[in-house]
């Protein structure tokens, strides 16, 4: 497990296991371990109890601040600091600059149990240690709560806690930040680590209530596995919707709102969208508009949602008159991209997502395209096991686009609509039943690639590579026959239409795309 | 008419009337008039035609740039510049810094007709002046279109054009800007000047299509007067909704979306909300979410909308479970506050708006409160004729609050909910039929004022002044009897509820308010 070359700093009340866990961590990582209390004792030749007894707490805090600065100057180590160290603002700031600060927690019973075994805690000495501990905990809580990564140690073994910390820190390596000023947020790339979700949620959300929105299929496969750990730590209201595009409308939205009112969902509740694109779009729009906006987290469970719809803040519902006609730009607090969700995905849906993957490669990334040409059989064979680097590459492109053109005003984000102009029309004309979204845009991409030969000089041999790769993935490449005026009427509903012009996405070559205004008539 | 002490600069193609209108304006305002072409002729002792004939256009443009700088150094005057002057970027920048630049427009026939009378236009001399004028207009159009204030002069007399310009400029004096960074926007305070609306719209919106949303009552009184001039300049799709709160729901929203799809409303269409709070909230939310957001303008026609709901970007609809439970923060491009809309307002609705006026005074502004105590009979007698200074004072408070706390996260914007916690519950329990919103919050304010005596020390004599002022306005001050548990259930739906606490607004004295978390039970 590769960890960032920074100090790992354990803070927390006495008896939360900082020393034992710190030693285990240091051993596992082959790093040095520094306990600042021990460092003070070594430096002064006195025990902490003696320092408290012979001078005063203030003197000890001075020594502690110096010991912290000294520890931070060492090569990356595991550092355990005293229980009161982080109550000093300068200490906390220094520690947070110098490494990853993790707060260990334990309930009062655990603490008193652990502390009773020793006799070296000057602040709890004398009569009624329980009352003293309670008072001290209350006093330190405002400081402890400032630390964003917190781990509960109750009932857990030392190796288990160390393991949890390493997993959590390695996550930071598998994080991509979508930079949008004050609305920036991370995408966490995770493998077989669903149980990490509650701790990540704690990092980004301080409330106790969750409104989880999911669908029947996701619930069947992951209901227990994902929601079990969540329900232990949060108060969860679960809404399970029928799967598929037909749920993405104002009627279902109204029913969801009704449930939320009854469940007393408020501004201190976070919405968790656990599902594919439909769930993400609908739950995101619901979160964007309920009480004029409440916190929201994306947990995409399909390939399409992981590489596309969960990132970038586009939320919305369909109208009977067309897809995605109503919505909002509303960014989540974070996106939890867990590869193992993809394992149980129906084959056809996984392949549908592959169409969006191929799209990124076609419009932005020739080397990703070559990778896909080489690895497609393997990607299909080991569904949901070896695709995370590909997913991440797509997410990087998506994040790059969204950072530069969040609201699709500059034309860059429009490039993501490669294949979508015709794809949306095909979906609409076949009632969103005959083809998956991916299948429709696969046909749309072939159509757009062919048009690109004359319009932007895409070599015919590259059209063939696109057709071949889509075919290899099991996607359709020839659209069914529609009457021209029927297709025209469907194209006219395109959101990107400007009077009689469409913004149509062409390829100049694989990996390079261009958006050109094109008269409706010329498209067909 | 008081105008800002700046140059008034007239630009535009030859034959658009710059000189004639400029002279009329200068006379009317008692200012100097400078025609830069004439200044060049005086300075060089040559006519413009001679300069063109003897040297070249470049030489003339140098002389012109100098003449413009010289003119801008004079005391505030009316300045007419040559038709090509603003095609030079430095000139345009200097002019825009030095005063208000207004572009005069005329169609080609008008121009040729006016120019034919003279013989001093070197650029149109020789054969086929029509073709030359057309080519020149085409070439200059990209520069002309950069000037935001534009006036059409076709078929208008010189005094009429001068009058239009003065009205437009004096508007800038009656403007309040709500400062929200890149989403800042002006509130225009206007009196008997509905016909100014199309020109203001041109300032803020470059498209040709409008989706006007209004209700039956507003249409009966102002349909022709407001929409007539608008339809001359824009392509208008009008949606007329049934009046009243019952229209503010997701069903009506869906119908409106359906109309918009049919009318091909697109991202280049502006939504104009022409009506009271219900229309503003609903049309604003529709604009916020249709195609994920299209431009939007507020034209509030009720007192309540003018002082409150049209400002600050709160949009939304009701659910059967409660009011305003779904919505978005979405700021308009501008707000057009026209006093004369208030004249035809039903008495009860005008008085309802007065409740919000009294609210601002109670929570923020003791001197406004005293003003209202003194002037209430007159304000009621001359409905919609003498209230603009009061409206503006309320808007200033509202803008101040929104600038500081746009999304109601700091507690300041919550102060605007004085009287609303109970008011909303009363409305909900009486099915939004028995009381107007203003009547409900009047009762809520009395209730909150009485609670403030014990909680925040509001003197009982000030409670009496509040009751008296509300009574003087014709508002109810005693709520009907509800069962306690019924009222509690309604209060529990409050959007600002945080678990079992309400953020309740109290008065410390008239003009000073405080938001204090208050347990639900304690409220009653």
The confidence score (pLDDT) of residue B2 equals 45
Calpha distance A8→A161 (Å, rounded): 14
Q: Enter the DSSP assignment of B322.
A: E
Other CB atoms within 10 A of residue B13 CB: 22
Please say if the pLDDT value at position A85 is more than 90.
yes
B317 inside 8 A of chain A by CB: no
- Predicted confidence at residue A4, as pLDDT, reads 56
Tell me how far CA of residue B449 lies from CA of A487, B315, B329, B394, B510, in angstroms.
Answer: 64, 28, 29, 20, 9
What is the reported pLDDT for B397? Answer: 92
DSSP 3-state of A400: helix
Q: Where are the alpha helices (DSSP H) in B73-157?
A: 89-98, 108-116, 129-144
**Mean pLDDT confidence for A198-220:** 92
Distance CA A390, CA A369 (A): 10
Give pLDDT, residue B473.
Answer: 97
CB pairs under 8 A between A and B: 95
Q: A204 an active-site residue?
A: no
- A126-181 pLDDT, tens digit per residue, is 778 888 888 899 889 888 887 877 888 988 999 999 988 887 776 666 888 898 88
Phi, psi of B80 (to 5 degrees): -105, 130
Contact of A100 with A108, CB cutoff 8 Å: no
Asked if B297 and B333 touch (Cβ cutoff 8 Å), the reply is yes
Burial class (CB in 10 A: 0-12, 13-18, 19+), B109: exposed
Q: In Å, how far are A90, A175, A232, B495 from A261, measured between CA atoms?
A: 44, 35, 23, 10
Task: Render A299-331 in DSSP notation, one character per residue.
Answer: EE-SHHIIIIITSS-EEEEEETTEEEEEEEE--
Q: How confident is the model at residue A5 (pLDDT cuts 50, 70, 90)?
A: low
* Three-state DSSP state, B215: strand
Catalytic residue among A339, A408, A427, A439: A408
Is the pLDDT score of A379 beyond 70? yes
In Å, how far are A457, B43, B71, B390, B406 from B66, measured between CA atoms? 50, 11, 9, 47, 46
Distance between CA atoms of residues B499 and A267, nearest Å: 10
Task: Please determine, for residue A2, whether its predicted confidence score (pLDDT) is greater than 50.
Answer: no
Of the candidates A253, A325, A407, the beta carbon closest to that of B257 is on: A325
The proportion of chain A whose per-residue pLDDT surpasses 70, expressed as a percent, equals 96
- Given a cut of 80, is residue A423 above it in pLDDT? yes
Q: Which residues of chain B are within 8 Å of residue A281 when distances are taken between CB atoms?
A: none
Average pLDDT on A171-199 reads 85
Interface touch A257/B326, C-beta < 8 Å: yes
Interface touch A253/B250, C-beta < 8 Å: yes
Chain B contact for A382 (CB, 8 A cutoff): no
What's the complex ipTM? 0.70
CB contact at 8 A, B303 and B350:
yes
Greatest Cα pair distance, chain B, in angstroms, is 94
The strand order across the sheet containing B99-105 reads B33-35, B78-80, B7-12, B99-105, B149-152
Residue A277 has pLDDT above 50, yes or no: yes
Say what the alpha-carbon torsion angle A154, A155, A159, A162 is, to the nearest 10 degrees: -20
E strands, A165-234, are 175-178, 185-190, 209-215
The Cα-based distances of B88 to B92, B141, B305, B499 in angstroms read 6, 13, 44, 62
Residue B110 is encoded by which pair of tokens? Answer: 């008008």
Q: What phi and psi, each to the nearest 5 degrees, are found at residue A503?
A: -90, 100
pLDDT band at A118, cuts 50/70/90?
Answer: low
- CA dihedral (A378, A383, A388, A389) in degrees, to 10, reads 10
The answer to whether A185 faces chain B, any CB pair under 8 Å, is no
Under a CB-based contact definition with an 8 Å cutoff, are residues A172 and A200 in contact? no
Are B298 and B178 contacting, i.e. CB atoms less than 8 angstroms apart? Answer: no
Closest CA of chain B from A174, distance in Å:
31
User: Which of A250, A253, A328 lies closest to B328 in CB terms?
Assistant: A328
Q: Is residue B9 within 8 Å of B34, Cβ to Cβ?
A: no
C-alpha A26/C-alpha A162 separation (Å) is 9
Please give the Cα distance from B342 to B340 (Å, whole number).
5
Residue A249 has pLDDT above 70, yes or no: yes
> Residue A500: closest CA among chain B residues belongs to which residue?
B264
Nearest to B261 among A254, A314, A322 (CB): A322
Query: Which residue ranges in chain B fall short of pLDDT 70?
Result: 1-5, 117-120, 122, 170-173, 495-499
| Beta pairing partners, A273 | A213, A298
Q: What's the pLDDT score for residue B149?
A: 79
CA-nearest of A409, A423, A429, A431 to A496 is A409
Which residues, at least 6 apart from B91, have a Cβ–Cβ distance to it below 8 Å?
Answer: B64, B65, B68, B81, B85
Q: Specify whether the CB–CB gap between B215 and B279 falls below 8 A.
A: yes
Name the residues of B annotated as catalytic.
292, 314, 356, 398, 408, 413, 417, 420, 424, 437
- Confidence tier at A1 by pLDDT (50, 70, 90): very low
Q: Tell if the CB–CB gap between A266 and B493 is shorter than 8 Å.
A: no
């Amino acid at each position: 497990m590769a960890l960032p070359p920074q100090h790992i700093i354990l803070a927390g009340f006495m008896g939360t296991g900082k020393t034992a866990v710190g030693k285990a961590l240091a051993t596992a990582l082959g790093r040095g371990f520094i306990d600042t209390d021990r460092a003070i004792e070594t430096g002064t030749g006195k025990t902490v109890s003696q320092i408290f007894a012979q001078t005063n707490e203030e003197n000890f805090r001075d020594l502690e601040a110096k010991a912290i600065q000294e520890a931070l100057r060492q090569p990356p180590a595991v550092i355990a600091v005293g229980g009161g160290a982080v109550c000093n603002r300068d200490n906390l700031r220094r520690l947070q600059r110098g490494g990853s600060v993790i707060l260990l927690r334990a309930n009062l019973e655990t603490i008193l149990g652990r502390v009773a075994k020793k006799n070296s805690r000057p602040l709890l000495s004398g009569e009624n240690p329980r009352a003293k501990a309670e008072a001290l905990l209350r006093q330190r809580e405002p400081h402890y709560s400032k630390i964003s990564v917190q781990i509960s140690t109750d009932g857990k073994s030392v190796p288990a806690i160390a393991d949890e910390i390493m997993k959590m820190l390695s996550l930071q390596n598998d994080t991509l930040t979508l930079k949008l000023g004050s609305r920036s947020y991370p995408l966490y790339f995770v493998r077989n680590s669903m149980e990490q979700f509650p701790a990540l949620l704690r990092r980004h959300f301080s409330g106790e209530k969750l409104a989880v929105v999911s669908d029947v299929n996701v619930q069947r496969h992951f209901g227990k596995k994902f929601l079990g750990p969540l329900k232990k730590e949060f108060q969860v209201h679960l809404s399970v919707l029928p799967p598929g595009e037909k749920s993405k409308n104002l009627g279902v939205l109204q029913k969801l709102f009704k449930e939320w009112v009854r469940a007393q969902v408020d501004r201190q509740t976070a919405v968790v969208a656990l599902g594919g694109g439909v769930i993400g779009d609908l739950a995101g729009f619901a979160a964007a508009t309920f009480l004029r906006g409440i916190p929201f987290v994306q947990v995409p469970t399909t390939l399409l949602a992981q590489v596309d719809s969960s990132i970038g803040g586009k939320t919305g519902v369909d109208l009977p008159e067309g897809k995605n006609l109503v919505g909002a730009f509303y960014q989540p607090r974070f996106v939890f991209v867990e590869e193992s969700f993809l394992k149980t995905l129906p084959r056809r849906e996984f392949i549908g997502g592959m169409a969006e993957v191929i799209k990124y490669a076609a419009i932005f990334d020739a080397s990703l395209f070559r990778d896909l040409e080489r690895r497609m059989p393997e990607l299909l064979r080991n569904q949901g096991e070896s695709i995370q680097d590909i997913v991440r590459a797509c997410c990087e492109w998506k994040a790059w686009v969204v950072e530069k053109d969040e609201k699709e005003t500059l034309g860059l984000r429009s490039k993501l609509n490669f294949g979508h102009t015709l794809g949306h029309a095909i979906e609409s004309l076949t009632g969103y039943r005959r083809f998956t979204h991916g299948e429709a845009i696969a046909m749309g991409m072939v159509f757009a690639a062919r048009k690109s030969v004359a319009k932007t000089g895409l070599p015919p041999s590259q059209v063939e590579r696109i057709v071949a790769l889509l075919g290899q993935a099991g996607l359709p490449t020839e659209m069914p026959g529609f009457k021209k005026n029927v297709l025209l009427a469907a194209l006219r509903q395109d959101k990107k239409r400007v009077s009689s012009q469409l913004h149509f996405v062409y390829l100049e070559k694989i990996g390079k795309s261009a958006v050109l205004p094109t008269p409706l008539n010329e498209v067909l």
